[in-house]
Structure 1
Amino acid sequence: MGVEKNIVTDTISALFEEQPEGPKYRVLSSALRRGIDQGHLPEGTRLPPVRDLAWRLGMTPGTVARAYTLLTDENVLTAEVGRGTFVSYKDEERPPLYITRPMTPGTDGIEMVNLFTARLPDLGQIALINDGFRRLAERPDRALLDYPTASSFAATRQAVVDWLDHVPLGSLQHEDIVLSHGAQSGISLVMQAVLRGRRPVVLVEELAYPGFRRAAELVRAEIVSVPMDEDGIVPSALAELAHRHEAQLLCTSPELHNPTALVTPPKRRHEIADVVRRGGFDILEDDSTFLGETRSESYRALLPEHGWFVSSISKTLTPALRVGFAIAPQSRRSELRRVAENGFFGLAKPLADLIGDLLTRDETREIVRSVRRRNAVYVRAAVNALGGHDIGWHEEAPFVWLRLPSGWRAAAFSRAAEAQGVQLRPAEEFSPRNGFAPHAVRIGMNAQVALSDFEAALGRLRRLLDNPPEQILV
């Protein structure tokens, strides 16, 4: 049944005004629910276009789109491509909100839960990004016909400066930043800017994000692992190895170590910074996995001449856009910029403009806060299920680190978990190729599966942990 467009808009506006104050997308979604429940917005009613309702209510289109998306996910509304958004009929079958991949044959039809890596839930990002694309398409920009230049990205780089205002990075100007295709690309750019000679040496933590090693291999660097303890890199070992191998770069993740989730405390950071300063080499800090507000000084702040920094939006907003930020010491910004310009000229201008738009919107920061809260729910579920075993965790980490009990090896446990419908990442993936790998696995927080399914997967892991094989499996 249909209702005239202006009547619907007036009805929603009146309902909106009656709601208590709060985040606008929540107020609007509550108003729509109330209108539907009370019959003011009957089944089949076509809601106003996002832009029209946003103008009427005095909010951004992204806020309206987020409220629509929230109710569409709950099957209160139905979105039809090319037609609009409608109040759902009560007897409509709801499409599955969570998608799982079937297991390979021979596993009794159990559905696979992928905990190999973290996966973000949609808490408004899709609507926000789509609205950003629409806003971008409306710009009459002649730059779409030109090669990008350094000045082309000034506004987006300044947006990054503001976006990272919570990170103690020392003196930061937008000219210090190069936009990269994700944090991994940023790591490669820094290595190309820093490393010299035929066989440079890169130091990494003995358990390290695999991307460090892969990037070093691409530039034909030798990779040397540095011992760690419960606070991170051991300074005395770092000093000895850096001197022995004439190392040029140390790669580390002190705010949230990947994969163990440990945090390097300020005192240890200062000790490591002293070693780097005396040794005269560079240090690259990767901050792309930490979801929270950084509290400790970065190595870029501690070492203004030697500290490089890499981050991205992949773990906090979306990995699909593949956008990261590489930040140089101010005295060496030209080295980093030259590598980017010689390698790929820079991001596509429309993508850079989209990122600049997203990073300056209040809705984006609210979505990131929502992502952090949702991730914390999944982390707590993991701790509750596995807390009787040895785990490393942080509420603002998108993974937990599980040290296996006696009887299990990482590879064997991963195979047994997959047979039970759970994909994990074994410690071997974070260890040197010819080095020792601890008996441990990393479990990603996949918030794209329902919490009940996530908890069921953890329950299957718990049964494996509580019943190790009588013989050690390899």
Structure 2
Amino acid sequence: MPLARDSTPNAHREAKPVKDFRSVADAVAEEIAAGRLKAGERLPPQREFARLHAIADSTASRVYQELARRGLTVGQVGRGTFVTEAPGAPAPAPALSEPADSRVDLELNHPVVPEQAGLLAAGLEKLVRSDRLESVLRPVGPAGTPAAREAAADLLARGGWRPGPEGILFAGNGRQAVSAAVAALTRPGARLGVEELTYPVLKAVAARLGVTLVPLAMDGDGLIPEAVEEAHRADPLHAVYVQPVLHNPLSLTMPERRLDQLADVLLTSGIHAIEDAVWGFLRDDVAPLASRAAERTVVVDSLSKRLSPGLSLGFAVAPAATAGRVAGALRSGGWGPMRFPLEAMARWQGDGAVDVLVRAKQREAAVRQEIAQRHLGDFRTRGAPSSYYRWWELPAPWRADTFVAAAARHGIAVTPAAAFSAGRPRGPQAVRLGLASPTREVLSRALATLADLARSAPDDFAGE
């Protein structure tokens, strides 16, 4: 039965302002921080929550997603959504949020340099000519073309290592390359070892494929090889996912001795490694783990960080024994590449554009780390000169969730440690700052704001 309408002549109602999902999420976060919503407490179903807060169902859904992203809640299938920090509560799986035009985005990390557009445009001119366009728009499989494999081998080479072109496969993007490698080397119910702080998308991939993540201890040099051995002895691991160079979020790079030790563990135990090398181009003096344990390692990489965020192409360098399985996973998942970026990549690699952009982005990373050091030097932070990340261990009494909420009220998006935690429900009281996406000036202002925020007490912002 339709709701009755006000039939009074010339009746006027004051329009209610539309609530932004972030402001509603901030209010819930404050309830949690104040202890009015306690760990383990169940939130109402989303439709009921929408009615209680006078918001649309779709807005309520985004609120719940935002709370999970901040590590404040966890959803349990068939049971509902619960406030985290309960003893034994399962780890949340927050995903990085989409960028919004109205905020400073220190979550998503897309390095851009001034010369980028001009260099890329020059390489595309011949591809978009009518006599070439038809051929570059034809379908292509995961193996690509011989010319593309040769170009990719040169593009991926670093530290004296150059992959064999015959082992290179292509995906639509880097995330698809990761998914295909996990699917090829594991199965539902398998155990996948990961660094205790790991790439958030890997957590989502494992959940979708029914793979159990096993958090492995780290130290100042990265993943501890003995932790891999211990976990494998306790219950065999099917594979290990590792970021040896410029680990996300800690910016750690494994020294050669640690890489040698990890390679020995892989070779003696028979464990496969998925080596995420997406940020490796910023340290092209370091040879990958695959140079030491080629037959046990699948390297995954992508084009977008090197060149431009809109250029989507993933790489998987697989040893002969596993290449067929990785290719099969790419086909069955619908994760194969488009021919156009394949052809563009080969042209940019051939004309030197890739090398110019890589050098420029290496220099830009150092500049941005200097900006971060200038504003955050009084705090406990970690970042490498060649990295676009900064890991910030927040000063007491700040918690990661309340700091993320306070930063959001200042129009700045940062990522809580819970997004990366593979084991503990919440992770440490820390946030990751992505330094790449804003301009230098905007980055500097945002970091100054965050530094001022961290020097204040959380209660100072309770009423905002």
**Residue from 446, 455, 459 that aligns with 1:457:** 446
Q: Does 1:193 align with 2:192?
A: no
Checking the alignment, whether the CA contact within 8 Å between 2:222 and 2:253 is kept in structure 1 is yes
Q: For residues 271 and 360 of structure 1, what CA distance do their matches in structure 2 show?
A: 36
Q: For residues 237 and 472 of structure 1, what CA distance do their matches in structure 2 show?
A: 41
**Residue from 200, 203, 215 that aligns with 2:205:** 215
Checking the alignment, whether the CA contact within 8 Å between 1:158 and 1:174 is kept in structure 2 is yes
Aligned-pair CA distance for 1:229: 1.4
Checking the alignment, whether the CA contact within 8 Å between 2:191 and 2:212 is kept in structure 1 is yes
Aligned-pair CA distance for 1:345: 7.8
Checking the alignment, whether the CA contact within 8 Å between 2:306 and 2:354 is kept in structure 1 is no
**Residue from 192, 200, 203 that aligns with 1:202:** 192
Checking the alignment, whether the CA contact within 8 Å between 2:299 and 2:318 is kept in structure 1 is yes
SS in 1 for 2:428: coil
**Residue from 287, 293, 296 that aligns with 2:277:** 287
Q: What residue is the counterpart of 2:164 in the other structure?
A: 173
Aligned-pair CA distance for 1:280: 1.2
Q: What residue is the counterpart of 2:394 in the other structure?
A: 404
State, as a whole percentage, how many aligned pairs show the same letter.
26
**Residue from 417, 420, 438 that aligns with 1:430:** 420
**Residue from 411, 432, 443 that aligns with 1:421:** 411
Checking the alignment, whether the CA contact within 8 Å between 1:317 and 1:367 is kept in structure 2 is yes
* Matching of residues 2-151 of structure 1 within 5 Å: 103=102, 112-138=103-129, 140-141=131-132, 143=135, 147-149=139-141
Checking the alignment, whether the CA contact within 8 Å between 1:118 and 1:398 is kept in structure 2 is yes
Aligned-pair CA distance for 1:406: 1.5
Aligned-pair CA distance for 1:261: 1.0
Aligned-pair CA distance for 1:424: 0.5
Q: For residues 312 and 254 of structure 2, what CA distance do their matches in structure 1 show?
A: 27
Aligned-pair CA distance for 1:145: 7.7
SS in 2 for 1:140: helix
SS in 2 for 1:136: coil
**Residue from 164, 174, 183 that aligns with 2:174:** 183
Q: For residues 168 and 280 of structure 2, what CA distance do their matches in structure 1 show?
A: 20
Distance 1:412 1:192, change over 3 A: same
Checking the alignment, whether the CA contact within 8 Å between 1:155 and 1:356 is kept in structure 2 is yes
Q: What residue is the counterpart of 2:150 in the other structure?
A: 158
Q: For residues 335 and 407 of structure 2, what CA distance do their matches in structure 1 show?
A: 44
* Matching of residues 218-297 of structure 1 within 5 Å: 218-297=208-287
Distance 1:365 1:472, change over 3 A: same
> What letter matches 1:461 in structure 2?
L
Q: What residue is the counterpart of 1:316 in the other structure?
A: 306
What whole-Å deviation, never above 9, does each CA across 1:107-161 have from its counterpart, x for those lacking one?
xxxxx32111223334233233333333112263564685435775211111011
What whole-Å deviation, never above 9, does each CA across 1:175-201 have from its counterpart, x for those lacking one?
2111112221111111122124x4111
| TM-score, normalization by structure 1 | 0.71
Per mean C-alpha deviation after superposition, the further-off stretch among 428-437 and 395-404 is 428-437
Q: What residue is the counterpart of 2:16 in the other structure?
A: none
What whole-Å deviation, never above 9, does each CA across 1:330-356 have from its counterpart, x for those lacking one?
443333233334443832222311221
Aligned-CA RMSD value: 2.5
Checking the alignment, whether the CA contact within 8 Å between 1:308 and 1:326 is kept in structure 2 is yes
**Residue from 367, 370, 373 that aligns with 2:357:** 367
Aligned-pair CA distance for 1:326: 0.8
Per mean C-alpha deviation after superposition, the further-off stretch among 252-261 and 270-279 is 270-279
Q: For residues 151 and 262 of structure 1, what CA distance do their matches in structure 2 show?
A: 32
**Residue from 425, 444, 469 that aligns with 2:458:** 469
Distance 1:299 1:120, change over 3 A: closer
Q: For residues 144 and 106 of structure 2, what CA distance do their matches in structure 1 show?
A: 39
> What letter matches 1:187 in structure 2?
V
Aligned-pair CA distance for 1:264: 1.6
Per mean C-alpha deviation after superposition, the further-off stretch among 431-440 and 309-318 is 431-440
Distance 1:423 1:161, change over 3 A: same
Checking the alignment, whether the CA contact within 8 Å between 2:172 and 2:314 is kept in structure 1 is yes
Distance 1:382 1:433, change over 3 A: same
> What letter matches 2:147 in structure 1?
A
How many residues get paired?
Answer: 363
Aligned-pair CA distance for 1:215: 1.7
Q: What residue is the counterpart of 2:369 in the other structure?
A: 379
**Residue from 383, 392, 407 that aligns with 2:382:** 392
> What letter matches 2:128 in structure 1?
A
Checking the alignment, whether the CA contact within 8 Å between 1:123 and 1:370 is kept in structure 2 is no
Q: For residues 137 and 226 of structure 2, what CA distance do their matches in structure 1 show?
A: 54
Aligned-pair CA distance for 1:440: 0.6
Q: What residue is the counterpart of 2:334 in the other structure?
A: 344
Q: For residues 210 and 398 of structure 2, what CA distance do their matches in structure 1 show?
A: 35
What are structure 1's unaligned runs of at least 5 residues?
1-99, 104-111
> What letter matches 2:156 in structure 1?
L
What are structure 2's unaligned runs of at least 5 residues?
1-98
SS in 1 for 2:214: strand
Q: For residues 335 and 211 of structure 2, what CA distance do their matches in structure 1 show?
A: 24
Checking the alignment, whether the CA contact within 8 Å between 1:202 and 1:250 is kept in structure 2 is yes
> What letter matches 2:296 in structure 1?
H
